[in-house]
Each structure stands twice: as structure tokens, then as C-alpha cells.
Structure 1
């Protein structure tokens, strides 16, 4: 296995074959003759100067190596006999703290990577296979060909092939067929239990969830939402939304407290114990929140906290909200938060567009070629929206709107 550094910009600009676009950093060499079957690489956020490499081998062996970018040295960390047959899939999770592996022996295992040690941590009760696993999956398939981790690291997908002897001779054998098996993984603890045996509790209806298990779900989910606050990271949270909706069916109060705790973490001071404390005590709090956080909050309000309400019901509530300021049930509180977040996003979009117009106007006075500047589309509609909502929008936006009107006139 070789680790390379690529000059991507130089590679894209090259008109011919150039060897200097790629620099060999390190090469894994050891005495074993067992061939490599799969690899997985991660650069942890906590230690960005390290490249952590997991190597799966044909005899079921698993190696871990670390390349230090500053010292330019590669060192061996750990190895173990992970499986009885070829390792076919590896995936790092939770910023390099957890490693999942699968093999042709049809097994999936979880490993905790801490310091320079790799310890097996069995899949606990809240990570048992989905309902499909109880249908005697091993009798209709063989050979696990790989695994993949969902974007929010809430679930793992394993890919099996169908047993050729059980396929229809005329139709099914003409093409390769596979089955995907899902495991919940977001509630895993990073502590290695003393008893390495499974307790046998299946996580089918989440009804067997205990308080410690929910704590793991909360820590991992909040950690992922925290990572999404980085604007350079795309918002892909379908698995997290599915998890929260499923948990909310049986534990609505716990999920509500989790989301409230996430919102409270945006502000300094003690964690608020109620949504009303965030919503109504300080109306200007939301001004200090980034647009990315407000966007995430808007998605969670719609897809999780108000998922049982149809879009017509939400619109009907918004219409009534515009005519009355009464605060009602807890569902109304999440509706109020949804309206508040959408209104703030709309104001920021209009304010940004107004600022672009003012900047272009100032630049055009000293520069020739006004067409070189980007101009927002729908400016007239934004000005009308500002006029209609004059009593609701922030004073700064009203000021921007008046300045834009003067420029346009």
C-alpha cells in the first residue's frame, strides 16, 4: 500500500503526462506475504497532522498504520486476526475512533481505536441487525462483499451476494444479484465492555432502548450536528433524520430534550430546559446564530418535530400565526420556531442581495463595465416583500431597502 500526495491543481492544468503531480509519501512494507484485500483511510479532525490507514488482508488479518505529516514518518500501530476469511470491507467512523470491518465469512465487527491499540467492541443491543436479519439471511446469501457507512454515521450497510445454487437457473443466474443488510451504528459506545458477548437484544422497535444507550445516541448525534456547522461540509442528513423520527415515536420527550440541548449550545450561559426559554425570552438571540445552524434547525423542525403534520397544516398554522401571537401547545412552539427560522433566513437572503446591489453601485462609479458584477434576480419582488413586512423585519433591513430604492431611482 502506498500513500501519495497529489497536486490536484497542477494535474488539472497539465496538458501532457506529468510525474511531478503526485509525490510518494510512504509505502507500507512488512514481512507478511498475505495480499491486501481492502483499505480505509481517515484524517481525524482532532489530529489533522496524522493519516490513519487500516489495511485488510486475505487471511482475515487487520493492520493499522499512522503516517505523521510533520515528521514524514510511517509507523505500525496494531494488527489482529479480525476474521476467519478475507477482509472485504473497512470503514472508519466517528472521526477515526471506531472501525468497522466485514469479511467473506459473513461477519461484521467493530473495533475501538484509542492511542496505539485496537480493541474489539461487540455490536451492542442498540446496533443489532434490522428485521431482515431475522429472516435467516445466511440461508439465501453468502460472501459479504463490502460495507459502507452512511453520511451521518448512524447506520452501516453490508452487501452480500446471493447463493448461486438458490438462484433460478434460467433468469437469476444470468446476472449478479446482491442483498443489502442495514445495521444501526450511531448509538455505539466507545468503551470496550468487560463482557465481550452479545446480550441478544435486537434493536427492531427501539423499545428496548435504555438510558445509557440513549445517551450514546445523543452524544453521537449531537457531535454529527456540530460537525455540520462547518459551511464547507455538505448537508446530507437523511440517516440522522430517519433516526430521530424513529426515536421520537417511542421517546418524544427525550428527542425533544436532545434538540433543545443542541439549540441551547449555540448561546453562552446555562443550557435552557425549555424551548420557550429559547424562543421568547430574548427575541434577538437568533441574530447571533449562523445561517448554517438556522438552516439545519429549519430542516429538523420540518422533517422531525413536525413530520406528522402535512404541508397544508403547517401553512394553515403560519397563516393563523400571522394574525395572532398566542403561544399554545408544544407543537405550536416548534411551529413558532420554524416560522422564526424561515423568516430569519428570508431576511438574510434579502439583506445579502441588497448589499450586493449597493456594492455594485459603488464600484460602478469608479470602474467601467458594470456588467462584470453579479446582480441578484428578483430585486423588485424583494423590495415589495420588504415593504409588505415593514413592521416585522429588522431595522437594518429597512435601512438597506431604502438605500437600494434610492440607487435604483
Structure 2
């Protein structure tokens, strides 16, 4: 198997299926032994990594059993268990926006049955990720209160409290001290503490077994239970797999505050275990995001249980059904060790609002017939955007086979698309790509397969070649013998695969000691999909080595598809793989990149002219373009079109002049796009201020609770006045209307400040540019002091405070204030901002997004710490 275009080594070997996961913010989590490595695929070489070290956990106290029950068959799995070191067996990323800095949370499950949730250390300045909560501890607290009664936990969970440890059970004695204390007391019977079995006194006479067993129970504070009861309790706490649901929100698409001040938007973490039961934990989005001080406000609520299977739950996956916009539903797919797969459906609103979710909340839609009884290892499900009434489910099994199921809504009819034997060993990874047109699979036998899904059937196809090459790694040997999972990038152009090494093929002097496992990255942007037939005429790509015309055309179509997917507002803007591919092509074939950009510009501006004509006429069409498309255009322009490759010495002077002219046109396009976005931002902010002024007159000056109040209105008025010759007439009138408002009233509504002072001296700071500022220098007896350079907030144009603020890794701007989502949903430049604002005037920002790039803002981190790179 080829290495791919880049690879990176891991310090521990993976040991579970689905050992890799790609987050919505472009971070990779890889489970390898007792470690979880978090990687930035854009900075693998010399870049920073995140790390989660899973410690050995204190066992749970579930009860005592007598010596006579030691040889019970139900205790055999407990007695033969020999897990010496904790190992991660399942990982899952939450949707974006649930960490305190609006990033993703990471949930992991260990072989000890522990489930924990972690976040990025964005304010701690360390490599080790921060533990947010221990789900297994919370589950144990609840089960102990319910006395492990199945009848109680299967239907009634209304008294579940928010996340947090119960102080009644926080002072458990370490297992070593517990055993020593029992040994000193010479108690009779067996002490069972979360799987630890120890015989206390084998020389006692059998007649007194019951007496001493009861005494041991009284002294330890644990109940004396039967072997079957212990096995049942142990299975309840033996967790195996985790999976986050998609982002669940109201039918209208917004986050509406509830009575307790929280928003309806949430995600649900499903946890499956050996008992066949699933527990569901609801996580609310934080009410606000921050870059520095503050406590983790994330809370999880146990909202229900579901007895999904009779044996171990080995795989879980979620997806949304978007066919019914008025009543959106979520699908839950579960797989078991007996080979059964079940598909459940629940209403989004019940998962968001209810505090008492019983078994009836999930209705069983389909149970897949078991044929070979091979355990289910992985599941992958997708609802194609092009066919929202269909759901594709891929099932990977321990036998190496792959089953595909197609569900049609709203009739909920199921059709089996077939069973395919692509591997000789357990399937360890499955991932849909290109909106369900392609499926990728891998196995522990080191096989990696690519499938095309057409007409409800899979067809095995070869992988595309791995060019273009962005980077290469010579210190990662190609001596793999297994695959433990795969993941597809957010843009679907890159495939990441976790490999284990064949130690027999490694050099025993140094490779066998240093090389434990590796993550290999393969280009899949050249994957040929028969559904794409829009081939450009007269294509000739012979200048790019190693790729056929068919692959180049596939690259072009897939890049176009990826860019179009980013136009959907529910998707995070992550175009790292698109930019990486175009940048690599640009080094060898600039004309090919120009052809791709021409096709994209023609799609945006609805024009079939040449690229120079489109660029020269683009400024007239920008007001009719959606804000998200303008942000994508700004990113591609700055990161691709204006990144000129090394000049070819054989190019003539005339060719250089033509390229220089085209480069100037791209620069002008970027300037016009940013000006258009700036006008929309200023117009939106001033309209909100005007609406607040009107509401204050009607409400006697009282501001409505939860209202977003923009700052910097004085700076915005000044900016409009400085650019009167180039801004929209409606924006001029709006600025004049706000300017006529009494300053005292403005100060009572928002922070109004006409004169700004330097953060380092008392000198004044004029508004010369919306990006940067220079103070006039402090005047002293010795003259005028030095002038300090300051950053301005990209949203308010106010001078940023010296405290850490939000940072855009694409346009390098800073922001101390956030903008509501309504600004990003503008389909065009509004003819009347005040009529558009309406209810949006009272909408709080839901995510820290850059108004010029649309990507997630983050705290600026030093180079030695991990940070996402969506571009």
C-alpha cells in the first residue's frame, strides 16, 4: 500500500476500530493505546500537537458477593480480565460550538469502561487537553441512587440533575486500601469492586460463610448481592462506545432562549455498553464564548436510556432527516456484537426540551436481519443533500463484509443494497464521501478499498493517484501491516488512514523502537464519479505529470463540489484541503488552476466570459451575491489567486506583464469584496442601533433582555463619512440618522466614544484605517513621545484592548466583539437594512465567526501550541 502524499508518526499503537476522527474545525484525533493525539493536518511537520493521556481509573464499588458464587459462569469475564493498562477504544467529536471557545468537544471511552469529555486548552497554554467531565462517574452516581434497578432507569429519569459530582460519593477509598483493610479484618467471602476479586479467608469453615459475608458487607458499606446481580451491575458500568449526535436546533433554524436562559440548540452524546443499553447525555451550547478567563459552563444532563440490544453495543452513529423541515427528526443507528443492527428515530424537539425521555421516545424503524452473526465493528450513515429523502447506511462487520442499506422517507421503506466482501479481516473503518456517491473502507488486514455507490449498489474502483504532492515525509517507513480506521476531510478531498507497523519489516536498530504507528494522508480529489459528466471541451493537462485527463477533470469537478458545499450555512467554513490542492497544482500548472477558478467565478457571477472580463466586471455584481459566497471568494482570492508561485525563467516578458495585470485585477477584486462586506457589517450595526433607539423611546429607555448591542457607532459614522464617494446611498442616510440622535441617548443604549486613547500612553488615536491605528504620541516637556501601533476590532473598528481577543487565521484580523448570525445569512445587499433587521436586532451572537472570511475565530496561540487551520 502506498504511503500517500504525507504521513506522520504516532508514539503508541492503535488497538481499536474507528481509531481516527476528523472534527468540523479541521483537527484530527487519533486513539493509540493509552494516548489520544490531536493533529493539525495543515501543520504536521514541525507543528504542535495536542495530547490526552488516559490515567488508570479507580474502580467503581458495585457490591460484595460470597465465596460460594466465585465459580459462577456469569463472573467468568470478570475473573479472566487482565487489562493491565488503560486503552482508548472509542472517540468522537462533538459538533462545532460546544466548547467554551466555540470549538469541538472530544469524547473518549476506555477499555475500563470510562467515558470522559475533553476540550482544547485554549487558555491554559499547555499540550495536555483539559477534562471537562466524567460521564461514567455521573452514570455511576445515578445508578447507585436508583439502586441499579432496571425498571427505574428504563423509564423514569426526570429527577436527573445537571452535570457535577455528588458529594455523597466523592470520597471512595482506593482499591488497594480497601483490600488491605478487608484482609486485616479477616473477613469471609469475596469483595468485588468493579471487577477486582479477592479471596479473604479460604480457611473459614463453610458453615459460617453467610455470617461472615454479611459482616463484610456491613463493615465495607457495600451490599451483599448475588453473582448474577453483580454481573448485571458491572455490565451497566462497562461502557464500550460513544457517538455525538448532529447539532439539534429548532425547526426555524435559530437558537431560541428557553425559560432557564439556555438555548434550544444542543447535541446528545450516546454511550453504549455491555448491557446492550444506551444512555443519552444532552449538552447545551454555551450562552457566550470567551478567549480568556472563565469557568467551563458546559453541563450534561442524563435524558434517557434505551435497551437497544441484548448483547454488547459495539457501534453507534447518528444523522439528521431533513426531509420534513417543520418537524425535523434524528436517526440513531446501533450495532451489536451478535451482528444485529437497529435503526431508531426520535423527534429533535423531544431531545432538546424533554427531561424525561423514555424508551418510547425512540421508535424502532428497522432491524437488519442477522445472517452470519459476525459482530458489527463500524457504522457509517449519511443523508445526501442532493437526495434528502434517502438515507444510506454502511455496516462493517468482523467477518470483513460490508452491508449497505437504503432508507426512503417519509414512507420509511428499507432496501438492502447488497453485501460486499472487500476484506479478509474485521472492517475497522467506513466513511461516506462526496454526498454519498463514494464509500471508503479499511480493515485490520491492511486493505483499503474505494467504492462507488450508484443505482443502489456498490462497485469497487481503484484509488486515484496521490499527486499533487504538498509535502512528503522520509522518516515514516512504509511497512504497514494493519489499518485501524479512516476519516475523510471536511472538504472530502483528503483521506486519513491509521496504520500499524509490521515489526518484522522494520530496522531493529532504530525503526522498530521509534515507529509504533502512523497516519497516512491520501488525495481522493481525483476520484472519478460517474455522476459528474460536465467535462470541459478541449481539455489538455499534459503539463501536469502523473495525472491523466480523466483524473484532472475529476479533480476539477470535485473541487467545485467542495466549494459549493461550503455555501450551506449549517456547515463550518473549512477549505484547507481545497486550498492545499489548488496550491500544489499552482506550482506545476498555473493554467489548470486558472481554469478551475474561471469555472467557479462563472458559477458565482453567472457569466461565460473570460477570467479577465469577469474580474473587471465583478464589482458591479457583488451587491447581488450572498455574504457566505463573498467570504469564500475572499478566502480563495487571498489564499490561492494572490499566492503567486515561483516564476518560471522561460516565460517571456510579455507573459509576465499579462500575469501582473491579472494579479492586479485579483487584488482589486479582493478589495471590492472586503468593502462590500464592510458595508454590510456597518449597515447592519447602525440599523440595530437605530432599532434600539426606537425601542428605548417606546419602552422608556429600558433595553430588551438578551439584545445584541453593537459598539463603535462613532467610528462607523466616521468611516462612512471618509468613504462617502464609494458607499451606498442608503448607508449614508442611515449613518446620518444615527448621527442626529442625541449623544446622551446613544451612550445610554450603547458604548459611544468619539475620542479614543492609546493603550500604552494617554495620546489620542485618530481613525485613519478600519484595520490598524497609530496614536499621535504622548506630549511631554521633552517633546512628543513615540507613536504606538494598535489593532482595531474588525467588527466595531474600535481600538482593541491589550487583553487576548478573537483572531482570524485567514485575514489576520482581530475582534473584541462578535456579530449575530443574521449578518452571515444575507442573500444580497439589503435595499433597506432597517426592515431587514427586525427581530435580528435582539439576536445574540451564536458563534465567533469572522465577518470577512466566515471561518471560526480563535485565540491567537504561539507556534508551539496546537490551533486549528480551517484554511
Distance 1:215 1:51 in 2: 28
> In the alignment, which residue of structure 2 is the partner of 1:179?
518
Shift of 1:129: 9.7
Aligned to 2:572: 234
Match of 1:329, SS state, is: helix
SS of the equivalent of 1:229 reads: coil
Distance 1:206 1:148, change over 3 A: farther
Residue 257 of structure 1 is matched in structure 2 by: 595
TM-score, L = length of structure 1 = 0.83
Superposed counterparts of 1:91-106, under 5 Å? 91-106=431-446
Name the counterpart of 1:271.
608
Flag the 1:111–1:135 CA change in 2: closer, same or farther, 3 A.
farther
Question: Which of 690, 703, 706 is equivalent to 1:370?
Answer: 703
Q: Which residue of 2 aligns with 1:49?
A: 389
The count of residues paired between Structure 1 and Structure 2 equals: 376
User: Residues 401 and 427 of structure 2 are in contact (CA less than 8 Å); yes or no, is this contact kept in structure 1?
Assistant: yes
Q: Post-superposition shift, 1:278?
A: 2.1
| 1:28-43 to 2 correspondences below 5 Å | 28-43=368-383
Matched, 1:385 2:724: no
Number of the residue aligned with 2:625:
289
Q: Is the 8 A contact 2:528 2:550 kept in 1?
A: no
Q: 1:130 to 1:353 in 2, by over 3 A?
A: closer
Mapped to 1, the partners of 2:510 and 2:349 lie a distance apart of: 51
Q: How far 1:19 sits from its partner (Å)? A: 2.6
Post-superposition Cα deviations, 1:238-289, rounded to whole Å, max 9, x if no partner, equal 1111111111111112212211221221234x41212x32233364211101
Change (3 A) 1:89 1:132: farther
Give the aligned partner of residue 563 of structure 2: 225
1:401 is matched with which residue: 731, 735, 739? 735
The SS at the match of 2:719 is helix
**Which stretch shows the higher mean deviation, 285-294 or 43-52?**
43-52
**Distance in 2 between residues matched to 1:130 and 1:33, nearest whole Å:** 44
Check whether the contact 1:154–1:240 (CA below 8 A) recurs between aligned residues. Answer: yes
Paired residues of 2:582 and 2:640 also in contact (CA < 8 A): yes
Distance 1:131 1:307 in 2: 17
SS at match of 2:617: coil
Question: Aligned equivalents of 2:414 and 2:561: distance in 1?
Answer: 30
C-alpha distance in structure 2 between counterparts of 1:151 and 1:376, whole Å = 33
Q: 2-side partners of 1:133 and 1:78: how far apart? A: 39
Query: Do the aligned partners of 1:128 and 1:183 also contact (CA within 8 Å) in 2?
Result: no
SS of structure 1 residue aligned to 2:522:
strand
- 1:353 aligned residue: 685
| 1:26–1:67 Cα contact (<8 Å) kept | no
- The SS at the match of 1:90 is strand
Q: What is the CA distance between 1:26 and its match in structure 2?
A: 1.6
CA–CA separation in structure 1 for the residues paired with 2:346 and 2:381: 15
Q: Which residue of 2 aligns with 1:324?
A: none
Distance 1:107 1:261 in 2: 36
Provide TM-score, normalisation by structure 2. 0.40
Cα–Cα, structure 1 residues 349 and 136, in superposed 2: closer, same or farther, change >3 Å?
Answer: closer
Which secondary structure does the structure 1 equivalent of 2:740 belong to?
helix
The correspondence of residues 187-226 of structure 1 with structure 2, limited to 5 A, is 187-191=526-530, 207-226=545-564
SS of the aligned residue for 1:256 comes to helix
What is the distance in 2 between the residues matched to 1:9 and 1:282?
Answer: 44
CA drift at 1:122: 0.8
Q: Aligned residue for 2:672?
A: 340
| Higher relative contact order (CA closer than 8 Å, sequence separation 6+) | 2
Number of the residue aligned with 1:304: 640
Residue 318 (structure 1) aligns with? none
For the pair shown, the structure with the greater C-alpha radius of gyration is 2
Shift of the 96–213 alpha-carbon distance from structure 1 to 2, 3 Å rule, reads: same
Conservation of the 8 A alpha-carbon contact between 1:42 and 1:53: yes
User: Distance between the aligned counterparts of 2:454 and 2:385, measured in 1?
Assistant: 15
Task: Give how far 1:22 is off.
Answer: 2.5
Distance 2:643 2:373 in 1: 55
Q: Does 1:159 align with 2:493?
A: no
Are the aligned partners of 2:430 and 2:441 in contact in 1 as well (CA < 8 Å)? yes
Residue deviations 1:318-364 (CA, integer Å, cap 9, x gap): xxxxxxxxx96221111111111111111110011111112222233
1:261 touches 1:272 (CA, 8 Å); kept in 2? Answer: no
Aligned: 1:116 with 2:456? yes
Q: 2:364 aligns with which of 5, 24, 30?
A: 24
RMSD: 3.0
Tell me how far apart the structure 1 counterparts of residues 688 and 718 of structure 2 sit (CA, whole Å).
17
Q: Aligned pair in 2 of structure 1 residues 247, 129: CA closer, same or farther (>3 Å)?
A: closer
* DSSP 3-state at the match of 1:148: strand
Whether contact under 8 Å (1:130, 1:181) holds in the other structure is no
CA distance in 1, matches of 2:367, 2:495: 30
Match of 1:84 among 397, 419, 424: 424
Conserved in 2, the CA contact under 8 Å of 1:347 and 1:393? yes
Q: 2:380 is paired with a residue of what secondary structure?
A: strand
Gaps of 5+ in 2: 1-340, 532-542, 646-658, 744-871
